[in-house]
Amino acid sequence: MKFRSDPAKIRGSIAPVVSPFTAEGAPDLDGLRTLIRWQLGSGTHGISLGGSTGEPSAQTTAERATAIRAAALEINDQVPFVPGTGSAKLDDTLQLTEVARHAGADAVLIITPYYARPTQEGLFSWYSTVAREFPDLPVIAYNVPSRTAVDIAPETVARLRKAHDNIVGVKETTKDFEHFSRVLHVAGRDTLVWSGIELLCLPLLSLGGAGFVSATANLAPGAVARMYEHWEAGEFDKARDLHFGLHPVTDVIFTETNPAAAKWVLAQAGLLASGFVRPPLVPLTEPGQRRVLELLGQGAAVLDGPVARVADATARSD
């Protein structure tokens, strides 16, 4: 919770770590710790879990709570910890947010309640309730209309920011880049905005974005972090080189429904004991595996460590 009092320091590449499971589908906390240590050693600027990449809707509230506590202990204030604690149910959201607060999270990521398709007034009431319950905890709205069927309007973000000091920003997972700009314009340029769309991570920085929560960081944590660092250092060509170099790695992530491909690669790299994904997802298919290996070869220049070795082994076998 070292960063809780100054959420403006939660910047850069916040890696949305996958949720490891055993081959039988049970939570794999040792695997989670391994992934976090690899992320920290690779230079990641922060850790998140429980977002879309973390399969939260396929886990019980108790499983999610246990993962939050384990991650907080492993991170140990080395970088900001921003777990996803949102759910389609308000009581579960409040319960998980309390777990995160007590565990020492620096901020929480609250997804818009999915399936119900609330109005903007409903969203304002939802986020206001969370903010009032946890006045000492920074709250980040998580806007991902492709999964929730509801979009937080820029005006609603502005209204929430005005009403609650601890609603500090929003993770925008929409391909409508105009939306990013309107949020910053209407809600204020001090609003912390992170991109959840991989190919909009670098462009958002030109508007003053705080960083990104990119699933690609599961496979190329060092390159994603360096892209932010180059931009901040004014090394724009180097940042752009990484942006384009990461294209095929991003394509790996979305070869089939995320996070099936990422988990398969991490298992091949020896960072996970299993690439298991819970239903309704299925493991990466054989055609998907062939495509992933092809894409890893194309992105080899930006890969490091165990994942780079998977790409190298593929190249040698060819």
The residues annotated with a catalytic role in the active site are 142, 171
Residue 242: name the closest of 174, 303, 196 by CA: 303
Q: ω into residue 80 within 30 of 0, thus cis?
A: no
Q: Cα Rg for the chain, rounded, in angstroms?
A: 18
Residue 129 near residue 90 (C-beta atoms within 8 A): yes
How many Cβ atoms are within 10 Å of 180's Cβ, its own excluded?
22
CA distances from 237 to 115, 232, 241 (A): 42, 12, 6
Residue 92 near residue 129 (C-beta atoms within 8 A): no
Residue 213 near residue 14 (C-beta atoms within 8 A): yes
